[in-house]
Amino acid sequence: MTGQLDALAARVAEHYGLQPRDAWRSDLQTVASELCSRLSCSHDSLVPQVVGNDALLREVAGRLTVGETFFLRHPEQFEFLTRAVGERLADPLGGTVKIRSAGCASGEEPYSVVIALQETLPAGWADRVVVTATDVSSEAIERAKRAHYTAWSFRSAPPGFCERYFRTTTEMIVQYSLREEIRRLVRFECSGIEQVIDATATDSVDVILFRNVGIYLRPDALERIFAGMHRVLRRSGGYLIVAPSDPAPPRSHFRPVGEPVGVLRAVDPATSLRPPKPQAFAPRPEFPAGAARVRSEPRYATVSPADSSAGSSGRKPVQRPRAEATRPVRKAATPAPALARANGGGTSPRASAASARPEAPLAQPRIDDLLRNGRLALAALRTETAVAELRRAVFLDGTHKLARFWYANALAAAGASRQALNQLREVLAQLQALPADATIEDGTSTVGELLQGVSFLMEGME
């Protein structure tokens, strides 16, 4: 069995350019057992079937690359994107602006793109902008198309964000369903990144978002991907956007624009999308006669945390509605309302495997495995499985705040609202003595973000 799993892991890594990780072994054991049951085959015959079937190979790869993201991650990058796209649209001969989200996971990134554009650009922008999102995981793509999210996906969203773009549902668990007029603006495709690049025409894409994906890829695969992205981006000045913690693209192909960090321009002497000057707004483009102009005045004013509903979390100032005002000159960048308070955060990659130990039938499960399995079951609405897995995680470590938070989500999904509220109150008690900017168990999320997630969930239940 071990040899077969190693061969399968090697094939997936080679085909998709993935860097093998310690957590793959337990994940492969799970997915192999499921596939054997579904295909009515033995473990010995499974690997040849998977290797010879692109759909099965993609399914296995998707199970090994479970991504986590949230809305308006690294908001300064979305501010840059909206200004750059606005400049392109100001040219009546500019044609269609094409934006790609590579490795989109459950869809928060591409939906953040269209929401940011909706907040900032004039009416009719969607007629000239195409946003396409891809991921190797078919399960992730299906979740993205459904566009139903829990409170954890909004841990950096500003006040009013959910009310403007989502409908709240509480049939099983408190969820936020993206409105159809936003959801239809993103096209989703299930495919590997290299396969997408190979099928894309040269000089045809304006912006590629490739964030928190490169850290999972082998150096040789990254080299091919960056070269391919340089080929497909506009020679007149396409942009590549990566996360600040991602591997840096080669300077032979891309040059940083300065600010914000992680935004790079494809190397080419011609220019059509000029980057805004760092820390200042570029001059607003003149739109053709008869066209609506970009909104130049934010609809929200900054207030102190003490005046906001989220003030106790210690987070950055939030936004409140205010009357329209006119200012002749603006010296500093003014973010769109949906971006004003959002704080970027790193992805939550799989934790490293526990120290090596001989395999045994009664081996203690890792809490990270239980947490991941429970969240996947919850996303698939398998509530009984989710409750069981997350209950075991809490039993293993009663101080694990994220495990208890997700256990509360699973209980709410199962209709056990009273028990869910008890778990959420326990999480609040554990967080009381901690500073808002302290990180929690995943190593990237903060106490303040978890407090916001708890508040979202409790508000929908009480």
pLDDT tens-digit readout, 154-169: 887 888 888 899 988 7
444 has pLDDT over 50: yes
Please state the domain count of the chain.
3
* In a shared domain, residues 259 and 385: no
* In a shared domain, residues 190 and 333: yes
Confidence of residue 40 (pLDDT cuts 50, 70, 90): confident
Say if 153 falls within a structural domain.
yes
Say if 13 falls within a structural domain.
yes
Position 417, amino acid: S
C-alpha 215/C-alpha 412 separation (Å) is: 34
For residues 170 and 443, which has the higher predicted lDDT (pLDDT)?
443
Mean pLDDT value across residues 343-358: 40
* In a shared domain, residues 79 and 58: no
* In a shared domain, residues 112 and 246: yes
* In a shared domain, residues 151 and 256: yes
Say if 393 falls within a structural domain.
yes
For residues 65 and 273, which has the higher predicted lDDT (pLDDT)?
65
Say if 80 falls within a structural domain.
yes
pLDDT of residue 298: 36
Say if 359 falls within a structural domain.
no
C-alpha 31/C-alpha 23 separation (Å) is: 13
C-alpha 239/C-alpha 402 separation (Å) is: 36
CB 400, CB 442: distance < 8 Å: no
Residue 286 burial (CB < 10 Å; 0-12/13-18/19+)? exposed
Picking from 100, 94, 16, 96, the residue whose alpha carbon sits closest to that of residue 51 is 16
The share of the chain scoring above pLDDT 70, in percent, equals 73
* In a shared domain, residues 53 and 94: no
209 has pLDDT over 50: yes
pLDDT of residue 179: 94
Mean residue pLDDT of the chain comes to 76
pLDDT of residue 365: 60
**The most confident of 52-66, 356-370, 406-420, by mean pLDDT:** 406-420
H helix count then E strand count, the chain: 16, 12
pLDDT of residue 338: 59
pLDDT tens-digit readout, 382-394: 788 888 888 888 8
∠ CA 360-365-370, rounded to 5°: 150
pLDDT tens-digit readout, 101-118: 999 989 999 999 999 999
- Rounded to the nearest angstrom, the gap between the alpha carbon of residue 389 and the centroid of all alpha carbons in its chain is 24
C-alpha 188/C-alpha 144 separation (Å) is: 8
Say if 350 falls within a structural domain.
no
pLDDT of residue 113: 97
pLDDT tens-digit readout, 129-143: 999 999 988 888 999
Query: Model-level pTM?
Result: 0.60
Q: Which of 32-36, 75-79, 204-208, 427-431 has the lowest mean pLDDT?
A: 32-36
pLDDT of residue 380: 67
